[in-house]
Amino acid sequence: MGRVEDGGTTEELEDWDPGTSALPAPGIKQGPREQTGTGPLSQKCWEPEPDAPSQPGPALWSRGRARTQALAGGSSLQQLDPENTGFIGADTFAGLVHSHELPLDPAKLDMLVALAQSNERQGHGVLVRGPHSGPCPQISSKRSSSFKRAIANGQRALPRDGLLDEPGLGVYKRFVRYVAYEILPCEVDRRWYFYRHRSCPPPVFMASVTLAQIIVFLCYGARLNKWVLQTYHPEYMKSPLVYHPGHRARAWRFLTYMFMHVGLEQLGFNALLQLMIGVPLEMVHGLLRISLLYLAGVLAGSLTVSITDMRAPVVGGSGGVYALCSAHLANVVMNWAGMRCPYKLLRMVLALVCMSSEVGRAVWLRFSPPLPASGPQPSFMAHLAGAVVGVSMGLTILRSYEERLRDQCGWWVVLLAYGTFLLFAVFWNVFAYDLLGAHIPPPP
């Protein structure tokens, strides 16, 4: 939240109009626009209205606190405004911003100046607090939706040079730039991410899950001496990690099945997507959000199988993988014009073909097993459940870059729907099998 300090009191700003760069302060009214003798068109400062009630309004930009005096290097507002008009031109403001070091990212400084210049061209100019109004507002410490609205109103004035024109980048920064263009649909967000990204902490979740899956596969492959279609081995289903309907009471199996795979082909497909899509998503959106999405897809996959395919076991991390992939693909489609990743149409088609082929292979193995088996083969419903989670929960997460999820009504709707599904699935697993008389294969 932005704050205005006036006469020793601090009041929050909330009712700011994102169409202009002006920030109304408590109990103040706007003076008329004037034309200076030499400077560009600017907006007269806000003057206090006697005995006016306090009315809060929002913050513009994040990170750091700036005042007009700080920009001027200790100069008074009288020196900035020798005619005592209470306003300065956009060029003067831009010169102060670029000539002094401020605790703001370079991209944010560009945005700040761009908004000022854009509003000046529209006849608004730059607002500063005048000598009768006290210091100018402080800048908030968090990026908010009002920031994004402000940038959306002024982004036409941003420099046309994108991140692709940044010279002298090292290998890692080029990779960060690649990730920004792969994941984010807006140039403002891409610049924001590029300048604020830090290599610590690294994207450890997806890398750790992939490494654990490979280790488990190698251990079981060496133990069973079988690397393809491992589920046909009679000892495979005895693993304490596999979800089996006969072991529903062992709740950890609803998650740990993601470490087991049918064979090398399924592991290779899932590991490739986790590294190519999951790692960039984690770099941009953070460990907490992406791990939540992945595990939500995994849990929804096993619970959906327990409801719709009651006799089948489940193996593989396809529920989580399809949650990530479907969320990313849906985000690309909904922001098609803004995505700058190369060959996006061809890559979209290839991704859909590969994902559909994997689902088709799982259906074939479920209903037409190529080898004799002692029981039903793993279900394919986890793939579909993961895709549903990705399109709903995942899309909400990916469209909320640098915004609080708890402040969005859509996020709570998605959580309510997911919680309702979990509650229904728990009751189903507790009561439905006995009530319906389902004939499940004996547990191994």
Secondary structure, 3-state, 77-139: HHHHCCCCCCCECHHHHHHHHHHCCCCCCHHHHHHHHHHHHHHHHCCCCECCCCCCCCCCCEC
What average pLDDT is seen over the chain? Answer: 75
Taking residues 271-282, report their average pLDDT: 95
pLDDT at 55 exceeding the cut of 50? no
pLDDT at 218 exceeding the cut of 50? yes
What's the confidence (pLDDT) of residue 10?
37
**Domain covering 202-434, topology:** Rhomboid-like fold (1.20.1540)
What's the confidence (pLDDT) of residue 291?
96
What's the confidence (pLDDT) of residue 24?
40
What's the confidence (pLDDT) of residue 107?
59
Taking residues 46-68, report their average pLDDT: 39
pLDDT one-digit tens code per residue, 129-139? 443 444 444 44
Taking residues 230-240, report their average pLDDT: 86
What's the confidence (pLDDT) of residue 110?
66
> At 5, is the pLDDT very low, low, confident or very high (cuts 50, 70, 90)?
very low
pLDDT one-digit tens code per residue, 307-334? 999 889 999 999 999 999 999 999 999 9
What's the confidence (pLDDT) of residue 298?
97
What's the confidence (pLDDT) of residue 198?
83
Rounded to 5 degrees, φ, ψ at 197 are: -70, 140
Rounded to 5 degrees, φ, ψ at 254 are: -70, -15
- Concatenated DSSP letters for 377-406? PPPSHHHHHHHHHIIIIIHHHHTTTTS-GG
What's the confidence (pLDDT) of residue 340?
84
- E-assigned strand segments in 313-413: none
| Degrees to nearest 5, angle at CA 150 with 145 and 155 | 120
pLDDT at 256 exceeding the cut of 90? yes
Taking residues 387-402, report their average pLDDT: 93
What's the confidence (pLDDT) of residue 138?
40
What is the longest distance spanned by two Cα atoms in the chain?
A: 93
Annotated active-site positions, please? 318, 383
Task: Give this prediction's pTM.
Answer: 0.69
pLDDT at 180 exceeding the cut of 60? yes
What's the confidence (pLDDT) of residue 162?
60
pLDDT at 39 exceeding the cut of 50? no
pLDDT at 13 exceeding the cut of 90? no
Taking residues 365-376, report their average pLDDT: 81
Taking residues 348-370, report their average pLDDT: 91
pLDDT one-digit tens code per residue, 277-299? 999 999 999 999 999 999 999 99
The Cβ of residue 128 has, within 10 Å, a number of other Cβ atoms equal to 26
CA distance 347 to 276: 12
Q: Give the rounded percent of residues in the chain with a pLDDT score beyond 70.
A: 63
Q: Where are the domains of the chain?
A: 202-434
Rounded to 5 degrees, φ, ψ at 48 are: -70, 140
CA distance 315 to 186: 38
Taking residues 230-243, report their average pLDDT: 88
What's the confidence (pLDDT) of residue 51?
44
pLDDT one-digit tens code per residue, 106-124? 656 666 666 666 555 555 4
